[in-house]
Amino acid sequence: MSKSFIVNDGAFEAEVLQADELVLTDFWAEWCVPCRMVEPLLDKIEAKYADQLKVVRIDADSAQELTGQLGIMSIPTLILFKNGQPLERLTGSNCTRERKLLERIVPHLT
């Protein structure tokens, strides 16, 4: 696994909403095959943009209150946050395509 932060409901505010940098949240579950397909893509993106982007992984099974608050109905779901506000949301197969991910992330990088 990458150097991504793994957070739970309690750490979400500090690690995501109060973060100074752009944060890509990955809502996943251990049993989710497409979620496992996303991980190497996120590792690659995180390495390339390490100085501009933080990746945070959240186990949807362990953070059901948070997933409910954010309206996450399926996984994988990726949400890009800046200054505590969601900018982009990708779900399902859109998360497993590197080109699609970069099209949504890169315009927000500084």
Positions marked catalytic = 32, 35
CB 54 within 8 A of CB 23: yes
**Residues belonging to the chain:** 110
CA 42, CA 4: separation in Å to the nearest integer? 9
Please state whether 108 falls in left (phi above 0), alpha (psi between -120 and 50) or beta. Answer: alpha
